[in-house]
Amino acid sequence: MINKNLSTVGINLYFESSNVRVIYYLKTLFKNKKIYFNIVGRAEDADIIVSSKDDGVYNVRTLNEKEITFEPNVDFKKIVQKLFRERSLLLGIDPGDRTGIAVCYGEKLILNEVISPWENAIYFIIDILKEFNCNKKIVKIGCGSSDNADKLKEILKTRFDNIEIYLIDEKSTTKNAKLRKNQGKEKDRISALKILQRAGRRI
């Protein structure tokens, strides 16, 4: 179950490698994918270990320098495969002209963005679902904007046969965001987080 406080944010990276080019490239890759990440000081705390040597101790979580192609989509896929061996992917979506999107893997919040216009948000959501190859994918869609929610639901059902889709009552999510005096993008981000944490009706 997702941590309702969302206190754990970002994928933890540990660099055993001192290769400046590799470090800069991977940091830029995560930023361009809009994925939250943290640099940690111990291998034990890492989700992904970037190493210049073959180390059997952390092999499952290790990305060796030799594996890096410097092709962003290829390398990101390799990272995702290491992350999502036994994890689930959960999306909360506040659809609209500005679409709030929140993404968790396991209990970690790894993305909280606002994408506009609506058409770009659809492509962004589809890309996430394609790139993150894991056993279980759950999409929660706020139904405050019923037309957009219905469109997104149909698009996802047509393109993917391995995801669970839920419609979420969005009334108090937007209200709570407004009560905090958040405007614009920040309000949409908070609404997406609220949707992410709520139970809804599976379709």
- Which one is predicted more confidently, 5 or 131? 131
Do residues 61 and 14 make contact, with C-beta atoms less than 8 angstroms apart? no
Q: What is the mean pLDDT of residues 161-176?
A: 76
- Which one is predicted more confidently, 171 or 12? 12
The whole-number pLDDT of residue 102 equals: 95
**pLDDT exceeds cutoff 70 at 5:** no
Query: Could you tell me the residue ranges of all domains in the chain?
Result: 11-83, 88-202
The whole-number pLDDT of residue 166 equals: 94
The whole-number pLDDT of residue 12 equals: 92
- Which one is predicted more confidently, 172 or 153? 153
**pLDDT exceeds cutoff 80 at 79:** yes
The whole-number pLDDT of residue 135 equals: 77
> pLDDT-derived band of residue 105, with 50, 70 and 90 as boundaries?
confident
Amino acid at 127: D
What lies within 8 Å, CB to CB, of 40 at 6+ separation is 12, 13, 14, 46
Comparing CA positions, the residue from 91, 164, 79, 154 lying closest to residue 128 is 91
Q: What is the mean pLDDT of residues 96-125?
A: 91
**Average pLDDT across the chain, whole number:** 84
Q: Coil, strand, or helix at residue 162? A: coil
Q: What is the mean pLDDT of residues 16-38?
A: 93
Q: Which CATH number fits domain 88-202: 3.40.50.1000, 3.30.420.140, 3.40.50.2300, 3.30.56.10?
A: 3.30.420.140
